[in-house]
Amino acid sequence: MKILLILSMLLATVLCVNEGYRKFINQHVKGDMSTTRCNSEILSRSISKTNSNECKETNTFIRATTNTIKSICERAGEPYGDLTKSLQPFSIVVCTLRNQGARHPRCEYRGQDRTRRIAIRCEGGLPVHFDRDIVYFEN
């Protein structure tokens, strides 16, 4: 009976992490993202503030493959508080809301190219939350 309980708890944890990973990919990964596609990508992916139809103030897209981003959780990242920071910079597009207080589907964004290290939350070896981009300076 204990084994069954432990297995069901383990399965629930795995499913929860996988759901967080899928959400992360949907909200933040687009290898060929451009600054002019913020509106269409955010609308087509149904990205909004959590549990509402309010427009998200800012959304960042990482121009990379899922495997490259996943490697931050394994060998290509370092601790950053309770997050993991990438060792290398990434090309990103930061989409910032232009029409404050708007609701879906009327969100209008301005995109900006950046090259930054990124801080993400990893669970079970997978990225589940994008926290911020970090300005870096080369030595």
- pTM, entire model: 0.85
Domains in the chain: boundaries: 2-134
Tens of each residue's pLDDT in the chain, 139 residues: 555 544 444 444 444 458 999 999 999 999 999 999 999 999 999 999 988 889 999 999 999 999 999 999 999 999 999 999 999 999 999 999 999 989 988 999 999 999 999 999 999 999 999 999 998 766 5
Cα–Cα distance between 130 and 80 in angstroms, integer? 13
Confirm whether 104 is a catalytic residue.
no
Residue among 28, 30, 70, 116 flagged as catalytic:
28
According to CATH, what is the number of the domain 2-134?
A: 3.10.130.10
Question: Please, are residues 137 and 121 in contact by the beta-carbon 8 Å criterion?
Answer: no
**Integer CA distances (angstroms), 57 to 49, 106, 108, in order:** 8, 13, 10
Residue among 23, 104, 129, 132 flagged as catalytic:
129
**Residue 83, beta-bridge partner list:** 80
